[in-house]
Amino acid sequence: MRYRSIVIAALSTTFGIAVVQATSALSALRLTPSASTAEVPPNSLRASVADVVATPQGPVVLLRPESSDRLLPIWVGYAEARAIERVLSDIDMPRPMTHDLFAKTLGRLDARLVHVRVDRLRPDGVYVGTATLQQDDRIIKIDTRPSDAMALALRTSAPIYIDSSLRAQLVEPMME
């Protein structure tokens, strides 16, 4: 797996990084089609995956809210980081991986992923998310890890949102 390198300049005392220095430009922004007003969750910031980077603590997905230069770093597992990186790098696998299978299953069930949202940060430093699905007139909200939600959203071109209460967790990227 190919990660862009990242240097952690300082760790905050409250669940995350205070400053991030990335050695490569955040050029891999993948913007998704606009959602209708009815589909935008309240108190949310539209975001895109800016990058997947390696740190000594493990892989981090950097989310960038629209109209912001700041980033939301979310530590993820290695498998989820690879799944997200494969989409960002346009790498196709010979057989469907888990997120591909789920995306195809939604289509076969005449359902769609409306959007995903990073909802909150628990006191133990773990982010919690929601995937919102639609099947006919039925809306289904599913509790999810943000990493799985992002991997699925990238495969289905569904919008990614961040709860506006997480603004305090956004960090400034500092280029070397």
E strand intervals along 31-137: 44-54, 60-65, 72-75, 111-121, 127-135
Average confidence (pLDDT) over 148-152: 95
Average confidence (pLDDT) over 100-127: 93
Rg (CA), the chain: 16
Residue 23 · residue 7 · CB < 8 Å: yes
Residue 3 backbone zone (phi > 0: left; psi -120 to 50: alpha; other: beta): beta
pLDDT at 3 over 60: no
What distance lies between CA 130 and its chain's CA centroid?
Answer: 12
pLDDT at 20 over 80: no
Query: Which domains are assigned to the chain?
Result: 4-173 (3.10.690.10)
pLDDT at 173 over 50: yes
Which residues are CB-neighbours of 38 under 8 A, at least 6 positions away?
Answer: none
Which pLDDT value is given to residue 134?
94
Which pLDDT value is given to residue 91?
85
d(CA 175, CA 83) in angstroms, rounded, equals: 26
Confidence of residue 14 (pLDDT cuts 50, 70, 90): very low
Which pLDDT value is given to residue 95?
81
Which residues are CB-neighbours of 37 under 8 A, at least 6 positions away?
Answer: none
Residue 47 · residue 65 · CB < 8 Å: yes
Average confidence (pLDDT) over 32-45: 63
Which pLDDT value is given to residue 118?
97
Q: What is the pTM of this model?
A: 0.76
